[in-house]
Amino acid sequence: MTHLADAAKAPPTAEQSPLASLRRLVAATEIDLRLFGMLVALAVILLAFNVLSGGKFLRPVNMVTLAVQATTVAILATGMVLVIVSRNIDLSVGSLTGFVAMSYALLMTDWLPRVVGLGPDFPFRWAVALAIGIAIGAGFGALQGFIIAYGRVPSFVVTLGGLLSIRGAVWYLSNGAAVTGLDPTFQLLGGGPRGSIGGELTWLVGIAACLGLVFLLVNGRRQRRRFGFPVRPMWAEVLIAVVGCLIVLGLAAFANMNYLPPALASEYARQHGIPEPPGGLLIPMGLPYPIVILIGVTIVMTWIARRRRFGRYVYAYGGNPEAAELGGINTRWTIMKTFILMGILASLAAAVAVGRLNAATLDVGESYELYVIAAAVVGGTSFAGGIGTIPGAVLGAFVMQSLAYGLAFLGVNSPGQNVAAGIVLVLAVAFDSWNRRRGT
């Protein structure tokens, strides 16, 4: 045992290849290797489609569309990670998204104006609708979570029931009709030409993210210094900060290369009395609102998972339910909370979906449960429990959406996309479990 440890510590002589030095560099930065690998995989997929499409794929307009299409599934996947980590499953997310989506539409077209008297002139109608929608989502989540946690009915069964009956309830909400005509502010949540934060704010978001990264690095280092723990070498810290900032600012610049459509740009020019230059006015749109929402959700969910007691308990329960119970954790309430959180996320995803469509149809969110579970699993979440990260699941959603969008871009029809998605799902998990076995 000690001999082995000594051998491992001895300077590697055979491992002076560039690959080994790269491995040491990565080790010094203490990056999550799995996450890093997924980023590489995503980049490879995007580049491959770019080559196959003759360089047309990687244009800002395509990438922004792709990202907006991935947001609903990605938002839901952040919650599904916690549900799967704590050894449960939620099959009802798609139906719940559909139910809340229909509720939003009805709130704005019917319930709020007719019952409460909030007409289109009321400025915060969108916020009232959003708040009620979130309450509905949380309520359904709490109900299912209660039956699972306290009634001890398997989550697969409870949420399978939810999948069927909540989808059925959508029909009763609107008597089978699609509902259109939302509040114009609410529509912005879905993105689109007007639903973006604009060039300046996008730069601000990029700079804030960069400063946030530096703050986290400095704070982490200070914390470890305070207790005299080993810290990363300084060059590794600087490397992470520089590379991280370059990526964040690069993405902001990329988002800002997406310009307002000419018609809207001319309208803007007329309104503001700006003379239109020849070739049209180029107004950067920046990040669409759904992406901003997704960034916010990812940060908050990561914070909950890693920095809050609740998150720690979710992972502890997933790792060993008995240990969590014996540790004095209120495991029932912890499980119930994961489903409440899932319901709230379904409401946010529904807001994006409804905003994009400017309508609620009967099939909003249909089959989402499958895409969401696929995203979480491709992102490294294990059904054995206790393992999975939120950024991983978001990346997983982007990988799956890139594949679908890329194939569609090349003219593959939707059954063909499904064939590819299924194969990639299985391959990704097979590779992951092979990698895990090799690692331990």
Which tokens in the block code for residue 8?
């491992």
Of 320 and 367, the one with the shorter C-beta distance to other proteins is 320
Of 23 and 307, the one with the shorter C-beta distance to other proteins is 307
Of 56 and 225, the one with the shorter C-beta distance to other proteins is 225
What's the Cα-to-Cα distance from 40 to each of 34, 37, 318, 395, rounded to whole Å?
A: 10, 5, 28, 11
Q: Tell me which DSSP letter residue 359 carries.
A: E
Of 237 and 369, the one with the shorter C-beta distance to other proteins is 237
> CB under 8 Å to 407, separation ≥6 — which residues?
416, 417, 420
What's the Cα-to-Cα distance from 91 to each of 76, 195, 208, rounded to whole Å?
A: 11, 30, 36
Least CB distance to other proteins at residue 309 (A) = 6
Of 207 and 231, the one with the shorter C-beta distance to other proteins is 231
Report the interface residues with other proteins, using CB under 8 A.
Answer: 1, 223-224, 226-227, 229, 306-309, 312-313, 315-316, 318-320, 322-329, 386-387, 440
> CB under 8 Å to 127, separation ≥6 — which residues?
none
Least CB distance to other proteins at residue 237 (A) = 16
Instruction: Please return the burial class of 342, using the count of CB atoms within 10 Å of its CB with bins 0-12, 13-18 and 19+.
Output: buried
Least CB distance to other proteins at residue 240 (A) = 17
Nearest Cα to 108, choosing from 173, 190, 181?
181
| Separation between Cα atoms, residue 397 and residue 372, nearest integer Å | 7
Least CB distance to other proteins at residue 116 (A) = 36
Least CB distance to other proteins at residue 80 (A) = 18
In the three-class reduction of DSSP (H, G, I as helix; E, B as strand; rest coil), residue 91 is classed as: coil
Least CB distance to other proteins at residue 32 (A) = 13
How many other CB atoms are found less than 10 A from the CB of residue 402? 24
How many other CB atoms are found less than 10 A from the CB of residue 142? 15
Of 172 and 227, the one with the shorter C-beta distance to other proteins is 227
Least CB distance to other proteins at residue 223 (A) = 4
Least CB distance to other proteins at residue 379 (A) = 16
Phi then psi for residue 362, to 5 deg, are -70, -20
Nearest Cα to 365, choosing from 183, 170, 190, 187?
170
Of 260 and 316, the one with the shorter C-beta distance to other proteins is 316
| Separation between Cα atoms, residue 240 and residue 245, nearest integer Å | 8
Of 261 and 327, the one with the shorter C-beta distance to other proteins is 327
Least CB distance to other proteins at residue 98 (A) = 34
| Separation between Cα atoms, residue 85 and residue 157, nearest integer Å | 18
| Separation between Cα atoms, residue 127 and residue 217, nearest integer Å | 36
| Separation between Cα atoms, residue 402 and residue 69, nearest integer Å | 10
Of 329 and 373, the one with the shorter C-beta distance to other proteins is 329
Of 226 and 272, the one with the shorter C-beta distance to other proteins is 226
| Separation between Cα atoms, residue 196 and residue 263, nearest integer Å | 16
Least CB distance to other proteins at residue 324 (A) = 7
Distance between start and end Cα atoms, the chain: 16
Q: Tell me which DSSP letter residue 56 carries.
A: -
Least CB distance to other proteins at residue 342 (A) = 21
Chain length of the chain: 440
Of 1 and 14, the one with the shorter C-beta distance to other proteins is 1
- Please, what is the Cα angle at 400 between 205 and 385, to 5 degrees? 90
